[in-house]
Structure 1
Amino acid sequence: MRLHEAIKNISSVAIVGASPIEGKVGNTILGNLIAWGFKGEIFPVNPKYSEIYGIKTYATVSELPRVPDVVVVAVPPSEVANVLKDSAAKGSKLVVLITSEFEGDLSSFSEPVEKGVLRIVGPNSAGISISKFSLHASIEILPEKGNVGVIAQSGAVGGVIISHLSELSSGISFFLSLGNSMDISVEDGLEYALHDSSTESVIAYIEWLKNGKAFLELGSMLRKEGKPLCVIKGGRGESSEKAARSHTGGIATDYSIFQAAVRQIGGYLASDIDEAVEVCEVLRRIGERKFERPIIVTNSGGVGVISLSIMDELGIKVKEPKNLDILPEKFRKRIKLGNPLDLGGDASIEDVLEVLKRKELREEYDIAALIYVPTAAETPERISKAIDDASNSFTLPTIGLFAGAGSREVTKRASRFIPVVSSPSNLARTLYALKYVGLS
């Protein structure tokens, strides 16, 4: 049974180990399910209680009045085997094992999987989330709903990815925390993303692969479907590979081989979480084709030069503009044409945006980067409103980078209108991705 078949429709969830006590894992999961607006039936399971939060509570899965589509398990390891047997006998298709601290071989729990009646996420999972069902059966923070699939072999890393997506006014279509992957794997998550119409891109944190061939095939299929895949690899050297093995119990994949595999399928391999999220968001929003001729428009020559230096290291070349008409009239006598095109520190956001609306840009460029450092007189509200008013008139697809005081708030507000990045390095790497990972 495929993962996308197991969770084709979710209308009921059982939480084994549900608790009314704040701080308990079973309490967090129950609270998150309710807070994210799950409209299906919720079945708390705990023999210690008759009800939790006014919801009738059952002693075992076998006593439930109907078959739960998903069973979330947050009980000690010694109790897991019986829960799995009950869940399989009841007819549930998916079990999410939050339970951790397993010792030794996990194969004793695999009988229901081998019989094809049950799929298992975990153990040591942080849970799953599926936006179209308003399902957040997880211990992680409440995400924003959106179109990005998140697959993680670390619940904490998955939570950081979700948090950064929210900072960019974006959200998830699904979140799959794999834990030790005794059954459900990275490859299952990619296959789900391929079949899920609400998923437009995928961010994956990977420490090891269960099936390299399937990874290559599914990654290539995602690319053909126009769904960018951005990957963070845990375990890139001897020390980190050892830590990865200790973390999930898997066999870490050699980094050089993995790097070649991601390149082969047209994915993007990021060095850290922020880079992965920001590059993936740009690819999702404007990466429908390759872009090779960037222009940087800025009011800060220094930040522009830093970005250009990193672009040079990555092999991204820029050419200086030839047409003076790309400048607003008031700048033509005092600004020297260049790339970056530096309008000076006294240029307002409106001045910079005016350049991005010049039709003449199209003659020499196919992508623009807006680098802006707000002046003391400019508020985040003013800057974001100016971008909102101007963005539909931009001549080229545009990426924003905001630095200086208030830049975090400006970035979040502006990200509603244009894709944004948080650093010169990520701007350069995004332009690299658009050139080499673009979809056509």
Structure 2
Amino acid sequence: MATKQQTQLDLTGSLIAKSVTSVTLSKRYTQKMVRCCILNIIYQRLELEESELKTRNFKGVPFIVLKNPKKPKHHLINLYISWLNGIEHAIENNYLKEIFLFMRNSAGDVSETYNFKLKYNRDPNTENKRTLVHVQKETTDLLQAIRDLGKNEKLENTRLTIEFTYHPVTPREYQPPGFSAAVQPECLKVPVGKRQLGSVNTGFHKITCRMHGALISDESSTHQPTDLSASRRSSKDKLDENEENVEKTVKTPASKINISEITLSVHVEQDSSMMSNDDSEAGALNNDINCLCELTITFAKVDIIRCIKCAKKYHAPCHGYKNKRMADVNFSCIRCGIATTTDRLLPKFDMKERPIIIKMRLIVYFLENDSELPEELMNSIDQSDKKIILDKLKFFDIYDAETKSFNKVNSGPLISMLFNNSQYLV
């Protein structure tokens, strides 16, 4: 269902009061809050044209709105407005799970990340018993936390990109207005937001905003997320979730990632890779395995493939294949050339990032096939790499290492992105 783009950000007491009694008005308030937070984060961290802005006040906390949304002049304001239809459309349909707002420096590296996580409650606001007082207090706290970002020096020469992820019920072909499927999502590479700026819960909808970046580089910062369990899906949790981006990934029934067409996509050199007709059996001891995962061990359930150029042996999943039957007959490893490898994913990452993606492939492969991780594998992976991967899987509600619970329903999109030639490991 298409929705009319709204750019007016005035937050009224009457709308807040009704947001705890009506799911429709709660959704409208949620849309306004998301738009308001994104605009004010941009304003507090980057230089905007003051003449295009005006100040409003909510319970003593000033926040910024646009003077004339129909005639923006500043390029960042124009970019922000171009996102609004997609955001509102995805929320209107209960598809949007998360929003990732990236701020990149002149070198293209991500300086700061802001993440909005949305939950939808199908039931009336009776169990939660949220009131006007609750929502006003949470709105005030979140706006103040965003305003406090302005106490830090603003970023210069910064480019904005935005990404979404979606709830599993989202149709495979769905793309919000102005967005298209991403090939190389940034949200899979960045650390999970360490500082929670705040959350607003009407009883029907909940928004949680977190950030990561130089402002909280100190790992011992006291501004840690207060509700770590919120990133974990529970069978008792009645709230559904959804997401977005500027560099998008795959179209699948589970969480998806999208990229805004207004943002330049990253140029990727195309490779053509190949696989050998090597008939070495999976699980046989191979002391000459020289896989990209840097693990010189074999696994009983993992096929070995051989590069036709250098003859080196690799775990099939590490190069994006479930088994050697699915690999290219003329498999050529990425070490023998980006231009000749059929691995469609690895060339999109730099040398430092590839080991994480490769090990994630191996971990996801075992989860999808066995719903658990072998000790031999986990004991062999570097602790820092293991933490990054497990944190990411937990963040996307796929695997919780503490409870050893695997959510197969949510794994589809990640599998579709990580592995070649197959949407799912079937």
Larger Rg: 1
Counting helix residues as a fraction of each chain, which structure ranks higher? 1
Shared fold, TM over 0.5: no
Q: TM-score, normalised by structure 1?
A: 0.30
Higher relative contact order (CA 8 A, sep 6+): 2
